[in-house]
Chain A
Amino acid sequence: MKSIDRIKSAINFERTDRVPVFSHIFGFASRINHIPLKDYLNSGELLAFCQLEAWKRFGYDGVTAFADNSLEAEALGSKISYENDGYPHIYEYCLNNIHDWKYLSIPDPEKDGRMPVIIEACKILKDEVGEETAVVGTLQGPMTLAGQLLGLEKLIYCIVDHPEEFWNLLNFTARAMVIFGKALINAGAHVIHIFDPSSSCSVINRAVFSKYILPHLKQAFKEYKESGNPICWLNITGQTEPILDLFPETGADLFNIDYLVPISIAMEKLPNHCINGNIKPFSFISCETKDIRREARDLLEKTQFRKGFILSPGCEMPLESKISNIEAMIKAVKS
């Protein structure tokens, strides 16, 4: 069975030859290929090369066109810097106050910042893997991107101090997300993966999610479906238990569950939707192979009668992960 068919079957709760597995390997792909992370994040060719090599090495079910969380914000004018072969951080937000969102323009994915890097990587990945495995295009969700433009602390206060402008800014970031997502679909992405950790209940509550975030996610996934019918994947890391029941309203096909949410709760709240998760990411650094094997088997046992399940870490594979631990996770679905 091809990876792409395996994933589609899991999403449709159909029989598969084995449980699909995602690695959430992003920057880690540069480490195992001995490429400086900054180079990986700034070259579509290098990014695609490292993703393909990692995929061939471990044999999981997808490759990802994604650089880092500040890519879209940088394209909109936030200033970033790189240090110590880590991901870049924003040292100057492009918005001084929330009212200035109106002076921003929706970025052009073919021209602005490093967006063209990701578009190029996506095209190369699609050319190389064809319909063999899933090409995942990852982009920041509206709340997370808004936080990268204004600073999350300021943004949170704006929810109550300037709710209308908060809504307006989210409208803007959601539009930018839709345009970038459509460009990724045109570049060959099979899966559109919205990553929005700042929308979790670790940051905002159910009421704010329901009123401000949900409508934007719903609209975005609707437009993606109309633009090539990709698999739509929502990934809100952190605590999401209080909002899991709202997820189906987004229209996405697949939902990432972080390690903070017990998989049994996610299965109960999302009985008819495919979920993926949720090995604790830090375990890939600190634990031994036997621990990862046990954690993976435990998840596979709990989900064995469900069908709609994909094994994965709860969030990104940390840059310092042990290779043997990644192999142990993959082996769990193949043995």
Chain B
Amino acid sequence: MPLLHRNLSNLTSINDSEKKRSLILGKMSTYQKREIVTIKNIKQAIIAGENEDAVAIANTLTSRGIKPKEIIIDGVTKAMEYLDKKCTIQDFCLLELMLAGRAAMDVIDFLCAEGIINDDASLDSDPFPKEKIILGTIKGDMHEIGKNIFSMTMRSYGYQVIDMGKDVDPADLVMSAIDHKADFIALSSLITTTIPYVREVRKYAVARGVPEVKIIAGGAALKQSSAEYLNVDYVADTVFDGLHYIRSI
């Protein structure tokens, strides 16, 4: 069984951004010479975790007049949809999702860096979702991987994510939701000792006059619990489970 569907050997010597940039430029040159390069190639590169290839293909496609929205919807999002189907509770692997997420983000960042799209806000138009998500690892917990994966996944689907970082006070999550007029607060934790803080988020939301904001919890500790116990609207088993909930609202 391969580690991933990619050639590892040519990446071992890359230890600085300059070399990495050279490699991407080299790959761009390769793809520019190819007559047939399609958005499907981006999807495949992202699924395989080939971030340099994904960026090189995106560059080739934009230079041939393909609209960035098409690249995101039919390339980035489709790749994440494939992973959504693959990543069940029983078959969820952080490694594969992180590599695909990195490739997806590199494509989006490339489109932003080249001025092809301005920033995440430029995605705030049809057909991209308009909902905003406030995200953070709850107070008392410093683990960020789950939160970062959720952020990458939601951004790949075109959602606007305001990442508050780790060890975030419940009141700050609510204030940020008010400031950004957000529809969702998503919070994560790997440990059970944070549960009292998780339960406070709803109380602050009600006290601050935004009882309608939906609260989602996830992470190794919280997913063992229930929405009722945590005083939230939904407990997500995986990032994609959280995505489905948000899309269902």
Q: A residues touching B (Cβ–Cβ < 8 Å)?
A: 83-84, 86-87, 89-91, 97, 99, 152-153, 156-157, 159-165, 201-208, 210-211, 238-239, 241-242, 259-260, 280-283, 285-286, 318-320
Contacts and interface: CB of A to CB of B under 8 A. Distances in A.
Interface stretch (B3-11, B36-44, B174-182, B206-214): B3-11
A5 to B, nearest CB: 34
Contacts of B226: 286
How many interface residues does chain B have, given as a range? 35 or more
Nearest to A210: B1
27 contacts: A87-B193, A89-B141, A90-B142, A153-B144, A153-B148, A159-B95, A160-B3, A160-B49, A161-B12, A162-B11, A162-B12, A163-B3, A165-B12, A202-B94, A203-B93, A204-B94, A205-B95, A206-B1, A207-B3, A281-B192, A282-B192, A285-B192, A285-B195, A286-B229, A318-B193, A319-B192, A320-B193
Given A86-B191, A208-B95, 5 more contacts: A162-B11, A163-B8, A164-B12, A281-B224, A283-B224
Given A156-B94, A202-B92, A203-B93, A99 B15 contact: yes
Nearest to A81: B142
Contacts of A320: 192-193, 195
Given A157-B102, A163-B8, A204 B193 contact: no
7 interchain residue pairs of minimum CB distance: A282-B224, A89-B142, A318-B192, A207-B1, A203-B94, A86-B193, A205-B93
Chain B contact residues: helix, strand, loop or mixed: loop
B200 interface: no
Nearest to B142: A89
Interface in B139-157: 140-142, 144-145, 148
Contacts of A160: 3-4, 6, 8, 11, 49, 99
B14 interface: yes
B225 interface: yes
B96 interface: yes
Nearest to B98: A156
Contacts of B102: 157
